């Protein structure tokens, strides 16, 4: 990763490098910063770069103000009427909710931050509102829709309403089964299989809340939630 010259490679490659799984948090953060600086003003690429910078900043445990600042820049650049922009705005809200949920899970059991839990829920809800508006009846679901349900359900299972978490997980499985196809048949099948599995796991987290009096279950719940959200 250190051999890449972030100033010369295409912006689309910078965005790929900035994603989790393709780089360390520090390298991803640097790639996202450079992509944001080089991208045209008010472009989708600029908004996506800011979103990626926010998530990688959270992974690096940078100050909350830094993370929030990047999310704000992403929303500002993507808050346009165009459908493509709105789809990426939904992804920004999704990731913002995911970051908030992950931060709460990291604090561990026995703690309560209702304002943070509410803000994460509001971010997830904003993402859902956009995706619902863009979804056409009897058509296949945007892939962001099933990923949203998985993270929102995990958040509710740990920090909110277990019944809502179970409902969201079931909705996520449904959307996975009817997700829009991207890539070849094998890639699509792998995506569907993964999303069904992780949404089912979010549902299991929801019902496991009934056994929260057992320390081993509490440990499993928080460990699983960190893996799901991280």
Per DSSP, the residues of 114-178 read: HHHHHHHHHHHHHHHHHHHHHPPTTSPBPHHHHHHHHHHHHHHHHHS-HHHHHHHHHHHHHHHHT
pLDDT digits (tens, 9 = 90+) for 55-66: 999 999 999 999
- With 70 as the cut, is the pLDDT of residue 217 above it? yes
Task: Give per-residue pLDDT as tens, 80-136.
Answer: 878 889 999 999 999 999 999 999 999 888 677 888 899 999 999 999 999 999 998
Sign of CA dihedral 173, 176, 177, 178: positive
145 closest CA partner among 128, 133, 129, 157: 128
Both tokens of residue 132? 């619902």
Query: What is the model's pLDDT at position 20?
Result: 83
Express each pLDDT in 169-192 by its tens digit: 999 999 999 999 888 899 999 999
Residues 53, 199, 79, 20: what is their CA dihedral angle, to the nearest 10 degrees?
20
On the CB side of 173, how many CA atoms lie within 13 Å of its CA?
14
Summarised one tens digit per residue, pLDDT across range 25-81 is 999 999 999 999 999 988 999 999 999 999 999 999 999 999 999 999 999 999 887
The number of beta carbons lying within 10 Å of the beta carbon of residue 75 is 17
Q: What percent of the chain has pLDDT over 70?
A: 97
CA distances to 43, 90, 162 from 165, in Å: 35, 20, 5
Q: Is the pLDDT of residue 204 over 70?
A: yes
Does the CA dihedral 210-214-219-224 come out positive or negative? negative
**Mean pLDDT to the nearest integer, 152-169:** 95
Taking phi over 0 as left and psi of -120 to 50 as alpha, with beta for the rest, 110 belongs to left
**Backbone dihedral angles phi then psi of residue 141, each to the nearest 5 degrees:** -85, 145
Model pTM score: 0.91
Band (pLDDT 50/70/90 cuts) for residue 1 is very low
Mean pLDDT of 204-225: 95
On average, the pLDDT of the chain sits at 92
Q: According to the model, what pLDDT value does residue 3 have?
A: 64
* Residue among 156, 163, 175, 169 nearest 202 (CA): 169
* Confidence tier at 22 by pLDDT (50, 70, 90): confident
């Amino acid at each position: 990763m250190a051999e890449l010259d972030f100033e010369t490679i295409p912006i689309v490659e910078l965005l790929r490098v900035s994603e989790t799984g393709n780089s360390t948090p520090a390298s991803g953060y640097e790639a996202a910063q450079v992509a944001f600086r080089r991208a045209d003003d008010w472009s989708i690429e600029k908004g996506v770069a800011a979103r990626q910078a926010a998530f990688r900043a959270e992974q690096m445990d940078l100050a909350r103000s830094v993370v929030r600042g990047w999310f704000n820049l992403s929303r500002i650049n993507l808050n346009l009427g165009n459908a493509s922009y709105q789809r990426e705005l939904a992804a920004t809200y999704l990731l913002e909710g995911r970051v908030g949920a992950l931060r709460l899970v990291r604090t561990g059991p026995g703690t309560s931050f209702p304002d943070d839990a509410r803000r994460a829920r509001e971010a997830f809800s904003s993402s859902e509102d956009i995706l619902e508006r863009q979804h056409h009846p009897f058509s296949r679901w945007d892939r962001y829709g099933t990923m949203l349900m998985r993270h929102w359900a995990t958040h509710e299972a740990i920090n909110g309403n277990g019944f809502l978490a179970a409902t969201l997980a079931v909705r996520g499985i449904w959307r996975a089964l009817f997700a829009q196809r991207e890539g070849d048949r094998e890639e699509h099948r792998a995506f569907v299989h993964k999303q069904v599995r992780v949404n089912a796991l979010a549902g299991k987290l929801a019902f496991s809340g009934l056994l929260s009096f057992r320390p081993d279950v509490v440990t499993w719940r928080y460990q699983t939630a960190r893996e799901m959200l991280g």
